[in-house]
Amino acid sequence: MQYRTLGRTGIKVSPYALGALMFATSVGNSDPEDSIQVIHKALDSGINLIDTSDVYGDSEEVVGRALKGRRDTVVLATKFGRPTGTDPNQQGTSRRWIMTAVENSLRRLQTDHIDLYQVHKLDPDTDIEETLSALTDLIRTGKVRAIGSSNTPAIDIVDTQWLSQRHGLARFRTEQLPYSILNRGIENDVLPAAQRYGLGTLVWGPLGQGMLTGRVRKGQQNDLSRARYFKHLSDERRIDIVEQLIPLADEAGLPLTHLAMAFTIAHPGVTSTLLGARTMEHLDDLLRGIGVALTDDILDRIDEIVPPGTDITRLDQAYVPPPVLDPALRRRPAGERSAA
C-alpha cells in the first residue's frame, strides 16, 4: 500500500479508506460480528483509515468494538452536525452541541480521541467562528487531533481558511465530498480550492451510488431502480454513460468497479477514496482493485465520455447552494428589476 499524507497534517493514510455507513445494522449489514470481520480484513489488507458518523445508526458502536486492540494503528474519522434526535439542539455546529456530540462519539467509539473530527455540513444558523473556536478547544484538550468539513462549496472553503488565519483558530485540514466518473463537478472549483489550501480530501461514492457496478443496464428495470431512494438507478443519462464505460473497462481488462475506483485516486487533489463494503464478498471484490492504476489513454477516453467538471445529474445528497433552492435569493424585488 502506497500511503499518502492527509493534507498537511503529517498523518499518513491509505489511498482507499473504509466508509462505515454500511456497518449500521439498520441500513447495512444486520450482523455486527460479520461487520467486525469485514473491518479486520480491510485493516489486514493495509487500509488504515475508517470514516463513520454519529448519524450512521449504530455504526460508531460497531467500529468501536472492531478497533479493540487495534486503535493505535487506525486513523479514525467521524462526523457530527446532522440531527441525531428530535431535540432542535441535537444537531448543528454550535459550541453547545459540539461539546456534547464529541463526548457521545468518544463513548460509542470506545476511544479517548478522534483523529479526524468533521463537520457533516456547515450550519448557516451558527457563526463559523463559534464552530471553529469550539473545535480548536477540542484539539487543545487532545480529544481531537485534526478537524475537517464536508459538502462545502469552494467559497466557504476559502472563507473558513481566512477566518482561521485571522483569528488564530484551528483550521479545517480536510474536505469530504462526492466524486466519481458520473459526478465530476467538484473538479471545477472545490478540488482546486482544497489543493490551494493544502487540504486532504476524502471522496465518497466512487461507484456512482451503484451505477458503476454495471448491474443496471439500458432497458433493464429492477426493484431497486423503482424505489424512492434509488431513483438515480433509472436515470437514462447515467445509464447511457455506463453503457459507454463498460466496453472501455473490458478493453482495459478491468471490472467496471475497479475502473471507477482507480479513476478517483488518479486525481492529484484526491487523498483517499471511501469504499462502502457491506459484506466480506463486497470487500474482497473491492480489494482486488486496489493495485489498479489507469493509463493516460484510459483517462483520456473517460474524459471523452464524461468531460472534466461535468455532473451527470446532481446527486440527492450533494450540496445545493441556497439561491438554487430559494427563488427569493436569486431575484431582485419586483420594483428593482427594471433598468429604466
Task: Quote the CA–CA distance of 257 and 238 in Å, as a whole number.
Answer: 15
Catalytic residue among 56, 179, 197, 319: 56
CB-hemisphere CA count at 13 Å for 74?
26
Query: Which candidate, 41, 48, 62, places its Cα nearest to that of 17?
Result: 48
Q: Could you give the CA distance from residue 77 to residue 337 in angstroms, rounded to a whole number?
A: 48
CA proximity to 22, closest of 259, 209, 272: 209
- Considering only CA atoms, which of 81, 116, 113, 112 is closest in space to residue 7? 116
Burial label for 333, CB within 10 Å (0-12, 13-18, 19+), is: exposed
Cell of 23: 456497518
List of E strands, 8-137: 12-13, 16-19, 49-51, 75-80, 114-119
3 is catalytic: no
The three-class DSSP label of residue 63 is: helix
Amino acid at 330: R
Active site residues: 56
